[in-house]
Amino acid sequence: MLLAAMTVFSLAASAQVAEDFKPATTNQEGKQYPMVNSQRMVRAQISAPQANSVKLDIGGVKYEMKKDENGVWTGESAPQDEGFHYYQLEIDGASVPDPGSRYYYGASRWGSGIDIPAQDEEFYTVKNVPQGSINEVYYYSTVTESMRHGYVYLPAEYYSNPTKKFPVLYLQHGMGENETGWSAQGKTGIIMDNLIAAGKAVPFIIYMDNGLNARKPGEQPMGGFGGFGGQRPQGAPGQGGQRPQGAPGQGGQGGPRRGFGGGFNFAGAFQDVLIKDIIPMVEKNYRVIADTEHRAMAGLSMGGMQTHSITLANPTTFAYVGMFSGGTFNVDELTDAKDFKKTNKVLFMSCGGKENMGVDKAAADLKGIGINAHSYVSPETAHEWQTWRRSLYQFAQLIFKK
Amino acid sequence: MLLAAMTVFSLAASAQVAEDFKPATTNQEGKQYPMVNSQRMVRAQISAPQANSVKLDIGGVKYEMKKDENGVWTGESAPQDEGFHYYQLEIDGASVPDPGSRYYYGASRWGSGIDIPAQDEEFYTVKNVPQGSINEVYYYSTVTESMRHGYVYLPAEYYSNPTKKFPVLYLQHGMGENETGWSAQGKTGIIMDNLIAAGKAVPFIIYMDNGLNARKPGEQPMGGFGGFGGQRPQGAPGQGGQRPQGAPGQGGQGGPRRGFGGGFNFAGAFQDVLIKDIIPMVEKNYRVIADTEHRAMAGLSMGGMQTHSITLANPTTFAYVGMFSGGTFNVDELTDAKDFKKTNKVLFMSCGGKENMGVDKAAADLKGIGINAHSYVSPETAHEWQTWRRSLYQFAQLIFKK
């Protein structure tokens, strides 16, 4: 969305802008900008005394900023949806992170993010309740023959009740994101601690990995995948100096590319890593109830599609399945899927209210063939993290309850 | 160091530059720039077609970059020390993170960092050995009356040996840094996993908190602290749009400031948080040997000074004490410190070879009054993370061994 911006807007000075801007909660400590007002407009500011042009690039639109007599540029966006958005600044043609914000991995880069206050933000706000932890781990993958990196959410009771074993949810990010997305932008640990403290979810472990970078030895990296939710790959033409990893030198053309249309398999080597490395590692290292009835998989967008294909290809491995903005299961593919139907206890499909993914109809159809299907549509949100925070909040209340 | 740059260098095109540049290990996935060559020079590159001036700002020096016909700017620094350095780009007067690097918290901001290959980098390289984890946690502080945030390193054996209890090291960052420094720049988890796997350190837990942001209710934030290791506070004059947290609005002058010369206590509210909140929380939530002989404190720079004052003020709480580039204990203050001397089992002081902190002499003097003092000087490094990675590597081998 960020990089697909084609239009340049300049908001005219207007009596309609509410001057109640406050620093964003996603700002770096002590930084006043960016700010958000009650109309959910974003105001950015940066000192660039010698610059000719500075723009705020958010939600697929670039907004011109204006320079004051001290060389400080300030400008506002149009109102944004509630929740989290990636954004950046453009200074004389250079797209750079805003030094005022914290940084998140999305749109295939570490860069600026901003959280717009939401009416329901309580559910992902840190509270003084029993706290689990988000654990950063490395493990050896026999599939990629390399050390890999992931995150594990352990609920508070994992520590306070040292003999208890727990179910596990395997939870995946979207295209252009990585294993940090669910804990940072997604606020997974906070959502779960609050849900468990309120008695709305049973305590379970969550494992989050990188669904994009798994490659078997000798495999080429994915160089390009255009046209997906507005997120462009590194190395896209015109992005100046960014080239796919492994491309030869400065003058090279980049390695072979596999576009979505060219046979890219959403699961690919990641399916093998998940089944052969990750699940055994989690079940060995943690106190896990290591059976199908206590194993779930879910993901957002591309991670939802991976969930779709991996749970279909491994129909007796996961009892609970969630697709957040990742499309739907359909009746045709499940009618004769006896193992999947016998194993599945909950099939959850969700999307944002501004997306049109047909999750309600799909769930109704699936119920007709005996699937315990659930759907959820996040009010007034698009293909973004507020949809997925809410989807996790809903899904977590449905699983491991028998 | 970063922001104290006063001089602008332009390296003349020179036959002396070795054209063997490789992408830095600290780059974002798939990003080719910045690069480092065998002379430890950094080459940065960014597309900024409309810019008038782009500089690479590293090691206290700004290096001019040059534009090619496509609007892409490229430039090199002088050779850098081995190890990790903060840096940034300056585009037409705007200091911004380099979109090619990963981001780290230091110099009072999230921004670019780069790792220069080091001859001894094996000790902080991820290997296929039993892996502990770095755990992100929140906890309620009775001192600040708020939720606080920290990281816990748990060794691999914490998971594989579920009844064993472990000693704990409380480990603090420096000025302008935060609770993420030791795990990200410091590579604490990797260093410890490798040391423990090699049998060089006993397994212990490490707890890392924020030593700068602890404030009792009603206390003002620290607004300014100049002249410390070249790191300037947020809100320094001329930094454009950055103001101390809590300052009133856009036209305000910022809150009251407490400079180092004005009675700033390095320990301050943090001492209370550590003693009253953190240690009890760690000893309640984790399998800890909760006695003095199994409790250590160490820190780098300001964190070393905090260690100095906190361990002196709580002489029977910690048996092992480490100051990394944080000055020295001296004979005068310890000669009559009966409780401290009776409790202390190891007193470790270190610094970089380019610093002059007198740690060897201080250790020799302290041995003369019966202290088990150790010193370490990191070869060819300054007041930077390579010194502190090596210091942790040395200190960890000395503690909890009786």
CA of A315 vs chain B CAs: smallest distance (Å): 30
Contact A51 B94 (CB under 8 A): yes
Q: Where are the alpha helices (H) located in B167-259, listed in sequence order?
A: 188-197
User: Residue A48: helix, strand or coil by DSSP?
Assistant: coil
Does A227 have pLDDT greater than 80?
no
pLDDT, average across residues A259-269: 50
Q: What tokens appear for B347 in the block?
A: 């007193």
∠ CA B157-A131-A208, rounded to 5° = 65
Contact B30 A235 (CB under 8 A): yes
The confidence band for A266, taking pLDDT boundaries of 50, 70 and 90, is low
Comparing C-alpha atoms, which of A30, A54, A33 is closest to residue A45? Answer: A33
Contact B134 A135 (CB under 8 A): yes
Does A242 have pLDDT greater than 70?
no
Does A312 have pLDDT greater than 60?
yes
- Exposed, middle or buried by CB within 10 Å (0-12, 13-18, 19+), for A293? middle
The residue ranking higher by pLDDT, A144 or B6, is: A144
- Residue among B178, B250, B286 minimizing CB distance to A159: B286
Q: Which residues of A touch B50 (CB under 8 A)?
A: 52-53, 92-93
Note the pLDDT of residue A255.
Answer: 33
Q: Confirm if A80 and A58 have CB atoms less than 8 A apart.
A: yes
Comparing C-alpha atoms, which of B42, B40, B43 is closest to residue B74? Answer: B43
Q: Is the dihedral of CA A268, A270, A271, A273 positive or negative?
A: positive
Tens digit of each residue's pLDDT, chain B (402 residues)? 444 444 444 444 455 899 999 999 999 999 999 999 999 999 999 999 999 999 999 999 999 999 999 999 999 999 999 999 999 999 999 999 999 999 999 999 999 999 999 999 999 999 999 999 999 999 999 999 999 999 999 999 999 999 999 999 999 999 999 999 999 999 999 999 999 999 999 999 999 999 999 999 988 665 433 333 333 333 333 333 333 333 333 333 333 333 333 334 556 899 999 999 999 999 999 999 999 999 999 999 999 999 999 999 999 999 999 999 999 999 999 999 999 999 999 999 999 999 989 999 999 999 999 999 999 999 999 999 999 999 999 999 999 997
CA of B107 vs chain A CAs: smallest distance (Å): 12
Best of B133, B188, B253 to mutate (most A CBs within 10 Å, chain A): B133
CA of B313 vs chain A CAs: smallest distance (Å): 29
Note the pLDDT of residue B355.
Answer: 96
pLDDT, average across residues A176-183: 98
Note the pLDDT of residue B376.
Answer: 98
Please give the DSSP secondary-structure letter assigned to residue A312: H
Contact B93 A50 (CB under 8 A): yes
Which residues does B75 contact at the CB level (< 8 Å), separation at least 6?
B11, B43, B44, B54, B55, B56, B63, B64, B65, B66
The residue ranking higher by pLDDT, A263 or A278, is: A278
For tokens 């699937």, the residue is A371
For tokens 């397994």, the residue is B203
Q: What tokens appear for B68 in the block?
A: 């090619």
Q: Which residues of A touch B99 (CB under 8 A)?
A: 95-97, 109, 111, 242
Does A2 have pLDDT greater than 60?
no
Note the pLDDT of residue A74.
Answer: 98
A317-366, pLDDT tens digit by residue?
999 999 999 999 999 999 999 999 999 999 999 999 999 899 999 999 99
